[in-house]
Amino acid sequence: MNERTQGVKFYQVGSFAVGNRLLEPDRHSAQADAQRANSLISGHRACQGCGEVLGARYVLDAAMRATGGKLIAVNATGCLEVVSTPYPESAWRMPWLHSLFGNAPAVASGVAAALKAQGHTDVRVVGQAGDGGAVDIGLGALSGMFERDDDVLFVCYDNQAYMNTGVQRSGATPGGARTATTPVVTGHPGNRFGQGKDVPAIAMAHRVPYVATATVADLRDLEAKVERAMQFTGARYLHVLVPCPLGWGAASSQTVRLARLATESGLFPLFEAEYGEVTAVTPIRHPVPVDEYLRGQTRYAHLFDDDGTHGGGDPDIVARIQAGADHNIRRYGLLADPDQSARGRIDLDEGVRR
């Protein structure tokens, strides 16, 4: 991780509790700052435990702190837009523009171009979309924004399906997951494998100044990456995993835990890249098998037969998902000791599996 900007790192051990009380006030997280921007305030209509709203709040308050409040947000159509601006109400305490589903990166580029023409380069632009808006329908506009190196930080809040329209498959839906358009029927165990897009890698292929992945499980990591992103001029991309209680079929209380398990299992690697090269990865400190992550979500319920209603489950699919996690671990070097993965899994296997 980027110790330079993060300054402080809480290693999550034991109780997983983190606190700002141990720190000097000027080293508090943006969220812990009583003077935080509250860019997205309460009263919006998001579901309880919504990862996207949590992520947006973290990202924007950190970006507001980094820019001294000189920030404009452009939003794609989607949950974040729908829950925050039912006319005549608005939960945004910053200049905010929603245009369409597939054009948020281009609209953000337009705002940046106008600010440049006006000489207001101190005002910065954040574009926001879900995985539908960034990975699928908006990818052309996103790629255009990247290749022109427009001065925009674009944030994808990835909950791995079209949640706003009722949990349909997107190009970010993982293999094996059940969605409304990848139903589980005999011979079709959820979403197909071998599909989908790695948009952080696509962003890196554009050689943009900064690309990072993050989750809502690690507030300080996410804030540090936002702050780092705001130190660059040009196109930047932040891909944030945001669990969706509704779409993933998990209790509202499990949002942060699931996000943490996604990284600790290796399914969602955390890294930073500058100008197309990986510069930092967040090592996995508590490796877990993918089972532990998958079992908490009804979208994967067909893979397990814990209650005896799924015909023995689908261990082959689970193994395939594990293989994907192991690939990520090798590719990004997420474990200092590669054997640690297997060891951790064996240790946990004894506890989690029979």
Partner 1 sequence: MSSEHMANPRAVVERLAARVSGRAVEGSRAVAETVARCRPQVVPAYPISPQTHIVEALSALVRRGELAPCEFVNVESEFGAMSLCIGASAAGSRTYTATSSQGLLFMAEALYNASGLGLPIVMTVANRALGAPINIWNDQSDSLSQRDSGWIQLYARDNQAACDLHPIAFRLAEELAVPVMVCMDGFVLTHALERIAVPDQDVVDRFLPAFAPRQRLDPAAPLSLGSMVGPEAFTEVKFIAHGRISQALGRMPELGARYGKLVGRPAEELARGYLLDGARTVFLAMGSVLGTLEDVIDEAREEGLPVGVVELTCFRPFPAERLRKLLSGADRVIVLERAFSPGSGGIISPELAAALAEPPTVRGGAGPVRCHTVVTGLGGRPVTKKALRTLVRDAAAGRVAGFSFLGLDRELLGRAGYGRAADADAGQTWERLLADLKNRETWR
Enumerate binding residues for partner 1 (CB under 8 A). Answer: 69-72, 74-75, 81-82, 85-88, 90, 92-100, 102-103, 106-119, 123, 140-141, 143-144, 147-148, 150
State the minimum distance, in angstroms, from the CB of residue 113 to partner 1. 4
Q: Is the dihedral of CA 272, 278, 280, 286 positive or negative?
A: positive
Q: Closest Cα partner for 347 from 280, 292, 277, 300? A: 292
State the minimum distance, in angstroms, from the CB of residue 184 to partner 1. 33
Output b/e per residue, 229-261; b: 16+ Cβ within 10 A.
Answer: bbeeebbbbbbbbbbbbbbbbbeeebbbbbbbb
Cα–Cα distance measured from residue 49 to residue 107, given in angstroms and rounded to the nearest whole number: 29
Which residues are CB-contacts of 165 (< 8 A; sequence separation ≥ 6)?
Answer: none
Residue with Cβ nearer partner 1 (56 or 290): 56
The vertex-339 CA angle with 335 and 340, nearest 5°, equals 55
The region, left, alpha or beta by phi > 0 then psi within -120 to 50, assigned to residue 40 is beta
Residue with Cβ nearer partner 1 (144 or 283): 144
Residue with Cβ nearer partner 1 (23 or 205): 205
State the minimum distance, in angstroms, from the CB of residue 195 to partner 1. 24
Cα–Cα distance measured from residue 265 to residue 220, given in angstroms and rounded to the nearest whole number: 20
Residue with Cβ nearer partner 1 (140 or 166): 140
State the minimum distance, in angstroms, from the CB of residue 82 to partner 1. 6
R_g over Cα of the chain: 20
Residue with Cβ nearer partner 1 (116 or 327): 116
State the minimum distance, in angstroms, from the CB of residue 202 to partner 1. 14
Residue with Cβ nearer partner 1 (50 or 284): 50
State the minimum distance, in angstroms, from the CB of residue 336 to partner 1. 41
